[in-house]
Chains A and B, each alone.
Chain A
């Protein structure tokens, strides 16, 4: 009882986006126009930043989608999954010029993709990162800004801006 009242909740403790996303992990304009192709493109980008095999990442993401779409509504999807022997969490952010059918919960097509890939043994950190992303993209203003941002760097700056402010 006292623990809960006095200590901050574990899950709300900060998980910085800047620690899992680099500017090179941002795709400002996806080439693909269909769900699977998007996942492939995300997996390729993830392969670049992690140095792992793209097909391996793709199959992890696809397995997750088979359980239920990660399209969370409002044009946002958060594909995610776990990979053996990964050194840490990695995020890839992608934006589509034309929204893509993704079987999202609200049936609306998706144009903002935030992919998260985690080591098999990452328990709490994985959830913390998902929660952080989910909260961030729940913010309609943030989504509008991301849609309007000019470049990959601008998108990266938006995603990490409040962290930068806090650090300053």
Chain B
């Protein structure tokens, strides 16, 4: 007995070690790390070189649930208030309706391809309906893909919040299949949904609040705080689930609440959770890999791949498009969001449920889901960077690499110590004055510690110790970080740079264009902020007069601080503008255009038919109307800033460009 325990410990730890080492490969070749973990599990399993015969589905589900609960809690904890604010609405729509649409579409295709009863087919749709947060974020980070804030935030919040929905749908459908529905299935489902989501959200908020209060009031040994936080999260998960709510939603919401409150020692908790999340990922993927029996995959590989392709190319795009239509994302951003709908461990985890609960097709569903996940990770995971480049949606980073360590101060001073190794080319090392709030308390240079007043100017390579409230850290990063790659890229940021306070009238006088009467008193930043509304990002550009104004530098406190000016107007389009994923306003204008054209055609036909004398005139009129239509159409589409290839393309009439209309 003891021996076999030791063996389990040995095997489990070796698997973790192998998984960790494979991450080296993954970072180097850019392969989706989670796929690598999965293959470690597969390789160790009954059909692989390890030959471990692990087929304890309930145990795998148990491990997976704990892991997922921890991952979701951490994911909520790390989601900043700002992210939530800008992305809550689109993400919630994606996490609810998006998941349902995906479930429906995949359900229908599963019914066709696998030939299972329709409820089982729908169940399969639910199993693969949620995206994998970890997969998405790992890939974005490793790929160095810097997206627009809103796009990134939407992906982030979506992937965290759609898991509870997929879990709810899967478990509900399994119960429906196993226990049979009552007379009123729809009503029961709705009731369940309200209970699950409602209780999940309420318990999550209450749990998060209780956790923060407890940590802040009770004086605990610092080393125990992360542990009690984790234990509280898991107990919240358990309690909510037992009471009929969604435990996964509860931990996610609790994480959101606690992570955005002034919780004591949150730096330590974060660091600890960073570790546990990695461990949870490894444990979950390796276990799920172990559980699978690849020799059985042959039978389902074709339907599996078909379903994966339908998921990637039909179900997800349709769901994303329908959900985001009303949120005014650019077509290319919508396309990207649809492409990074990676499936991951959650899908495999959910595929265990039917097996455990005795759904006859359980094994079939599990194997097929496995194929779908692998295909999705391979296809989308491997191409995510190329896709982002192809769509032209990568935005320049705000600053270059930062070498920073955070330390927590004892007590609840709401201050922390941040230590930077000053980058040689950072703003501070190249002579920028340090604001008062950013003055270091201590400077380490060549191994000796210096008082700030005796150290002279800060140099590259210095280590500076600064005591600061956490909210200033992002600003500090900008001072001590290296220059962002391409920060002075003329193509991106224009030929010249002006401070945000420069009057547009001065620019107009200098570069020879008229400034509209209403704009005379505005600064260049005012113009950008007005025309780009709430979606201001580095590198965003608008045509004004005969030049282009570009958001060159921003900070969180002041908004735009530097404005770039390009003396050439380029066509402000991404590399491509794909012909699908139109937003609501674009669709409306297409519809109106079509209607009008039809009306005009009818009129023309009528006039030709009625009087032969008026023939020519009628045709002329119709042609004239057509011209007007085209104009109108251009004007309407121009409003989707930065996405329309037709905008600004006419160099002779730039002054009243559509974007300023």
Contacts and interface: CB of A to CB of B under 8 A. Distances in A.
Interface of A: 1, 3-5, 9-12, 64, 67-70, 72-74, 78, 81-82, 105-107, 121-124, 126-127, 130-131, 134, 138
A122 B512 contact: yes
B498 A68 contact: yes
Contacts of B506: 67
B202 interface: no
Interface stretch (B359-367, B442-450, B645-653): B645-653
Interface in B488-527: 488, 490, 495-499, 502, 506-507, 510-513
A9 B651 contact: yes
Contact of B649 (A1, A12, A131): A1
B11 interface: no
B487 A72 contact: no
A35 B397 CA distance: 31
A107 B483 CA distance: 11
A1 B646 contact: yes
Contacts of B498: 67-68
Contact of B546 (A69, A70, A121, A123): A123
Contacts of B547: 127
A105 B651 CA distance: 28
Contacts of B488: 72-74, 105-106
B482 to A, nearest CB: 12
B215 interface: no
B567 A130 contact: yes
A5 B495 CA distance: 25
A72 B564 CA distance: 11
- The listed residue with most B CB atoms (<10 A of its CB), out of A1, A68, A69, A130, is A68
A81 B547 CA distance: 16
B490 A72 contact: yes
A130 B568 CA distance: 9
A121 to B, nearest CB: 8
Given A67-B502, A68-B496, 20 more contacts: A1-B630, A1-B634, A4-B650, A5-B649, A9-B651, A12-B568, A64-B510, A68-B497, A68-B498, A68-B502, A72-B495, A72-B496, A78-B496, A82-B510, A106-B487, A107-B432, A123-B511, A127-B512, A127-B567, A130-B567
Contacts of B652: 10
B649 A4 contact: yes
B571 interface: yes
B502 A126 contact: no
B431 interface: yes
Contacts of A121: 512
16 contacts: A1-B646, A1-B649, A3-B650, A4-B571, A9-B651, A67-B506, A70-B496, A72-B490, A105-B488, A105-B497, A127-B511, A127-B546, A127-B547, A127-B567, A131-B568, A134-B495
Contacts of B582: none
B13 interface: no
B569 interface: yes
A73 B512 CA distance: 24
A138 B568 CA distance: 14
A67 B497 CA distance: 9
Contact of A10 (B430, B432, B490, B651): B651
A105 B488 CA distance: 7
A23 B363 CA distance: 82
Contact of B568 (A82, A122, A127): A127
Nearest to A74: B488
A3 B496 CA distance: 29
B301 to A, nearest CB: 46
A127 B571 CA distance: 16
A126 B483 contact: no
Nearest to B503: A67
Contact of A4 (B496, B512, B646): B646
Nearest to B648: A4
Contacts of A70: 496
Contacts of B634: 1
Nearest to A106: B488
Contacts of B571: 4
Nearest to A10: B651
B431 A107 contact: yes
B568 A123 contact: no
B512 A123 contact: yes
Contacts of A9: 651
A71 to B, nearest CB: 9
Contact of B510 (A1, A72, A81): A81
A26 B507 CA distance: 28
Given A1-B634, A4-B571, A107-B430, A130 B510 contact: no
Contacts of B510: 64, 67, 81-82
Nearest to A68: B498
Interface string B525-564: 0000000000000000000001100000000000000000
Contacts of B651: 9-11
Interface in B603-661: 630, 634, 646, 649-652
A68 B499 CA distance: 7
Given A9-B651, A74-B488, A69 B495 contact: no
Contacts of A68: 496-499, 502
A138 B493 CA distance: 13
Contacts of A122: 512
- The listed residue with most B CB atoms (<10 A of its CB), out of A67, A121, A138, is A67
A69 B617 CA distance: 59
B80 to A, nearest CB: 30
A-B pairs, top 8 by smallest CB distance, nearest first, are A4-B649, A123-B512, A10-B651, A73-B488, A68-B498, A131-B568, A11-B568, A130-B567
A4 B543 CA distance: 15
A160 B502 CA distance: 34
Contacts of A64: 510
